[in-house]
Amino acid sequence: MALLSKANQEALVGPLNLNNPVVVQVLGICSALAVTAQLEPAIVMGLSVTIITAFSNLIISLIRNSIPNRIRIIVQLVVVAALVTIVSQVLKAFAYDVSVQLSVYVGLIITNCILMGRLEAFAMMNKPWPSFLDGIGNGIGYAIILVIVGFVRELLGSGTLFGFQVVPDWCYEHGYMNNGMMTMPAMSLIIVGCVIWAHRAYNKELQ
């Protein structure tokens, strides 16, 4: 089937591993630093970026032939800004606490280099369905890294996951202490560096 062609499968699956936007292309690092102190906002940010990247890719691909080249970036920004506004309002309506935790970072999705890069490099040159798949793949690839970093930081930094204590009390009674450094943005950069190292050690072809 054309919908499941090898090229379409690569557009969807490639960003999950060998072409991951964070650990291979080293994009989207800023939000990995900002929103991963806890697992829940990391997941919400990952889902938000996935939705926005997928639908902005789809929309831009649909209208790409009618966009004057000299204003294509402006058109892309308008489409992304509209989608970001919708996602932001949905979060405020249905997940207000998480929306507060994410603060301005949802609005800053409009400047996410992964999103703008896929619009310029893929959606402007490909048909709607592959562009949609590319957006989903890159969004999920980005989200996976945020979830890994958020999981490690919350577990080691607070002893919790999703706000619930998972480190048993007897560990603290025997001298275990949460690593307060994990709550600092610098630690997320170190964790991302460790993930990149592990990913490239596993995927020899990237070396």
pLDDT at residue number 46: 92
Q: In Å, what is the CA distance from 63 to each residue of 15, 57, 70, 121, 123? A: 24, 10, 15, 15, 10
pLDDT at residue number 166: 92
Instruction: Return the H-helix or E-strand segment holding 165.
Output: strand 164-165
pLDDT at residue number 207: 62
pLDDT at residue number 61: 95
Give the span between the Cα atoms of 171 and 193, in whole angstroms: 29
What DSSP character marks residue 175? Answer: T
pLDDT at residue number 109: 82
Q: Where does residue 82 rank: exposed (0-12), middle (13-18), buried (19+ CB within 10 A)?
A: middle
What DSSP character marks residue 159? Answer: S
Can you give the length of the chain in residues? Answer: 207
pLDDT at residue number 2: 66
Give the span between the Cα atoms of 28 and 126, in whole angstroms: 23
Residue numbers of the chain with a pLDDT score lower than 50: none
102 contacts 45 by C-beta, under 8 angstroms: yes
pLDDT tens per residue across span 144-167: 999 999 999 999 999 999 989 999
- Residue with token string 């790409």: 64
pTM of the full structure: 0.90
